[in-house]
Amino acid sequence: MNHFHSSRQSDNRQPQPPRSSFSRALTAAVVAGIGLVAACGAIAEAARRAEIPSTTVLTLQKPRIVVVKSTRKLYLLDGETVVRVYSVTLGPEPTGQKIRAGDGRTPEGVFRICSKRSDSPNHRFLGIDYPDVRAAREGLDRGLISDGEAKAIFEAQRTGRCPSWTTDLGGAIGLHGAGARQTAGCIALADEHIEQLFAVLRIGDTVEVLP
């Protein structure tokens, strides 16, 4: 397992994973309202191929995920190259940033995979490191978590571990199968699609979630 390790900085200056140029283009497209294909022409052909179930074994050098909540699409990339595009299901409150446990929202930001479970009740599970430093700072300001809980989240992110998923910020957010169901805030895909992602994604790989 290739755990990630951020540099030793103060809790208030935790480094965040970089955004890809692909995700910046997607964000610009959403903000401008010009559509994803106009922002990145290569997406059209990738999307056409991705909607067809594939049994091809993928071998990726730099796998990463970009999820666009507004379009219910998940992009699997190898570096900056789109490899697959999948449809996803979100929770009962798909818009807006996740604030606390039970709000039904999927957190937005740049996360990393911190857990892989092949024995998940939802077929496969790829957990992300939410709550992250941003969520911990804001939760501390709102009085949702204690100083000790915030420090534990900072340390978990610094050392590449999953943070506590039992605070009032919520947790156990990730990618899983059984995509026909509504989730409680996770990102659900068809079982054959989560199998493809589970095979290529590693602990520490990036999952970026856009509005």
- In CATH, what number is assigned to the domain containing residue 201? 2.40.440.10
* Helical residues (DSSP H) of the chain, grouped into ranges: 21-32, 36-39, 43-50, 133-142, 147-159, 191-200
Q: How far apart are CA 61 and CA 81, in angstroms?
A: 11
Tell me whether residue 157 is in a domain. no
Find the domain containing 101 and state its range.
Answer: 18-130+170-210
Counting the structural domains of the chain, the total is 1
Tell me whether residue 185 is in a domain. yes
Q: What pLDDT, on a 0 to 100 scale, did the predictor assign at position 196?
A: 94
Return the amino acid letter for 132.
Answer: D
Q: What pLDDT, on a 0 to 100 scale, did the predictor assign at position 56?
A: 63
Tell me whether residue 110 is in a domain. yes
DSSP class of residue 70?
A: G
Task: Please give the structure tokens belonging to residue 187.
Answer: 């990102």
DSSP class of residue 124?
A: -
Q: Are 124 and 135 in contact (CB under 8 A)?
A: no
Task: Please give the structure tokens belonging to residue 53.
Answer: 């179930």
Tell me whether residue 160 is in a domain. no
Per-residue pLDDT of the chain (211 residues; tens, 9 = 90+): 333 333 333 444 444 555 556 656 665 554 444 444 444 445 545 555 555 445 566 789 999 999 999 999 999 999 989 999 999 999 999 899 999 999 999 999 999 999 999 999 899 999 999 999 999 999 999 999 999 999 999 999 999 999 999 999 999 999 999 866 678 899 999 999 999 999 999 999 999 999 9
Which runs of E-coded beta strand occur in the chain?
A: 63-68, 73-78, 81-87, 109-117, 125-128, 174-176, 187-188, 206-210
Tell me whether residue 36 is in a domain. yes
Tell me whether residue 1 is in a domain. no
Q: How far apart are CA 34 and CA 11, in angstroms?
A: 38
Tell me whether residue 162 is in a domain. no
User: Which residues have C-beta within 8 Å of that of residue 199, sequence separation ≥ 6?
Assistant: 57, 58
Q: What pLDDT, on a 0 to 100 scale, did the predictor assign at position 123?
A: 92
The neighbour count for residue 165, using CB atoms within 10 Å, is 16
Tell me whether residue 137 is in a domain. no
Return the amino acid letter for 24.
Answer: R
